[in-house]
Amino acid sequence: MSDETPSVEEIKERLKVEIPVDEEAAKAEEKKADVVEELKGLGRQFAETLQSAWNSEERQKIESEIREGVQSFVGEVDKVIREARESDVATKVKSEAAEVKTRVETGEFSKKARDGFVQGLQWLSEELGKLAEQFNPKEKEPPADSMPDDSAE
């Protein structure tokens, strides 16, 4: 009965082909999978650790202490600034500034400034004149006996 259809078992037997297995490649693949799994596990553990640290009472306590410290610092700086504004030195500076402002507005300061400016310009003009003379000395007049005499002709 060669015309008979082979059974499933017979087909399996006929198709059985020996596939060579590279044991080193299989081990390398297995190690690669192990490394990937270990890295995934490490990542999960790291995330959990960060989450635990962030939610810890110690971190919250430190944050609270830092906030209190910064608020205290700001309060002290504000206090010093208020005291400086109210001090005798600050009052004296304010009064002197008001006096200068009054002098400027009344013209006393502007008159002195104008006079000083005019004096400065006069001095500068004189000095520039002296400098110009150094670069362009006056021409000397020829002596009287070397002058041609028009009457002698």
Q: State pLDDT tens for residues 4-25.
A: 787 877 777 777 655 555 677 7
Residue 121: pLDDT band with limits 50, 70, 90: very high
Q: What pLDDT, on a 0 to 100 scale, did the predictor assign at position 45?
A: 94
Give the Cα separation of 67 and 73 in Å (integer): 10
pTM: predicted TM-score of the whole model, two decimal places: 0.34
Write down the residue that tokens 């007049």 correspond to. Answer: 141
Query: For residues 93 and 73, which has the higher predicted lDDT (pLDDT)?
Result: 73
Q: Does 144 score more than 70 pLDDT?
A: no
Q: What pLDDT, on a 0 to 100 scale, did the predictor assign at position 1?
A: 46
Query: For residues 2 and 101, which has the higher predicted lDDT (pLDDT)?
Result: 101
Residues 26-40: pLDDT tens digits? 777 777 778 888 889
Give the Cα separation of 130 and 124 in Å (integer): 10
Amino acid letter, residue 62: I
Q: Percentage of the chain surpassing pLDDT 90?
A: 25
